[in-house]
Amino acid sequence: MIPVPAIRVRQFGVDFYQAVLTGTDVQKLVRFEVLSYDAGVVDAGVTRGQGKKRKAAAINWELLEKRIARSAEAYQRPVIRKKIVELIEYYNQCAEAGNLPAIPGAVLLVSEKRLDFNALGGNRALGILHVPTEQGMLRALDGQHRLLALHQLAETRPIADVQVPAVIFDRLAPDQAVEMFVTINAKHTKLNPSHLISLAGRRLYPDKTLATSHDIIRALSEDADSPLHGEIKLFGVGKGRVAQAPLAEELKNIFTSVQALGGRDADRFLDQAKRFFLNYFKQIANVFEVAWRGRKYSIKTGMALRAFLRVVPDVIAAVKANRRDPADAHAIREVIAPWGETIGDARFETEGEWRQKLAGGTSSTVDQLARELRGALRH
């Protein structure tokens, strides 16, 4: 056990601790992790900052990244390299000048186990917190970048005497930890809306439609046979060109429309929604083959994809009118086939008709394309 001086705080029946950790404690006890669905990729989820090469060269990124775990059970955002560089530079300035504390505010940590607290003297709030010496006992809820920078600082400076104020929770259930993370970050540090989509539905609160929307977007981005493979920025970062959150909003509207119909069809559609959307975009890629494969087209932009999503209820209605399975690829192809002739690949040429109609504004462009698609369906 590591004895840590602490104050036990009670708020509305909930106990937590204000403690003081040393830099050595941080290195030993804190586990760093980010939300990721591809734990096998070493560099997954790390945003490369635009810092100067001189600064970046002073940081052992390979060593630092090995310390960062990646899993679908985490809730932290991908690490921002530029932020780490700036923090280390600030820490060095504080150490050299000796006139400012580097980490004056408390970081928030979550313990996976209940901790023992021994009060000192007659004050029941003041005492010693006993933390097991297990590696990675504590998870960072807030302040992960500050602690990662401190961990890296240890490569060039001794940090055993550096004290870090910390608030430690040992009575939070996993869903409570996620909810607190979102509460802290959604407003104060502008939590990326796409990252929030990945936490909602399953992790944050139970919502079948949000969970299904998330699964659909993830399948479209990650399935090897998806025509949108690698095109969507999950968590708001990555190589994709399309943000996750606007697509999720369109999906939410689709499910609202479907559920308004009620009955078994609504539940059945949710159950097979992932299959439908994979087949739907495969058929779109087939109908607009030249535009989909070409580089000088805007068919895979966020605006175009939102328009394709916006007409999904109409596509489903047309397929059902033909007494076919809405998720069947051939049935979908049958009703959207006229798009190839009526709308055509040229509609999506970036320097052609697309740019001309884009002048009307983002919203009107999505609405206008959706009207064109809706009008060209085969009923």
**77-89 tens-digit pLDDT:** 667 788 888 888 8
Q: Answer yes or no: do 148 and 272 share one domain.
A: no
Q: Answer yes or no: do 61 and 86 share one domain.
A: yes
Q: Which range among 98-112, 329-343, 354-368 has the greatest average pLDDT? A: 329-343
Q: Answer yes or no: do 37 and 88 share one domain.
A: yes
Lowest mean pLDDT segment, chosen from 119-123, 241-245, 359-363: 359-363
pLDDT at 99: 77
Percent of the chain with pLDDT over 70: 75
Q: Answer yes or no: do 150 and 201 share one domain.
A: no
Evaluate if residue 276 carries a pLDDT over 90.
yes
Evaluate if residue 184 carries a pLDDT over 80.
no
pLDDT at 110: 85
pLDDT at 149: 85
Q: Answer yes or no: do 74 and 137 share one domain.
A: yes
Distance CA 243, CA 265 (A): 30
Give the number of other CB atoms < 10 A from CB of residue 124: 11
Domain hosting 268: range is 193-375
How many separate domains does the chain show?
2
Distance CA 88, CA 148 (A): 9
Helix (H, G, I), strand (E, B) or coil at 245: helix
Evaluate if residue 183 carries a pLDDT over 60.
yes
Q: Which residue has the higher pLDDT, 337 or 249?
A: 337
Evaluate if residue 108 carries a pLDDT over 90.
no
Q: Which residue has the higher pLDDT, 216 or 12?
A: 216
CB 17 within 8 A of CB 167: yes
Q: Answer yes or no: do 182 and 201 share one domain.
A: no
Q: Answer yes or no: do 157 and 245 share one domain.
A: no
Give pLDDT tens digits for 241-258.
Answer: 788 778 888 888 888 887
Residue where a domain terminates, one of 188, 207, 227: 188
Task: Report the half-sphere exposure of 103 (CA within 13 A, side-chain side).
Answer: 26
Q: Is 288 exposed, middle or buried (0-12, 13-18, 19+ CB in 10 A)?
A: buried
Q: Answer yes or no: do 147 and 117 share one domain.
A: yes
Residue where a domain terminates, one of 146, 172, 188: 188
Residue where a domain terminates, one of 188, 223, 252: 188
Angle, helix 244-261 to helix 302-310, in steps of 10 degrees:
0
Task: Name the phi and psi angles at 122, rounded to 5.
Answer: -90, 0
pLDDT at 72: 61
CB 164 within 8 A of CB 20: yes
Q: Answer yes or no: do 50 and 183 share one domain.
A: yes
Q: Answer yes or no: do 235 and 152 share one domain.
A: no
Q: Answer yes or no: do 204 and 163 share one domain.
A: no
CB 299 within 8 A of CB 308: no
Q: Answer yes or no: do 364 and 262 share one domain.
A: yes
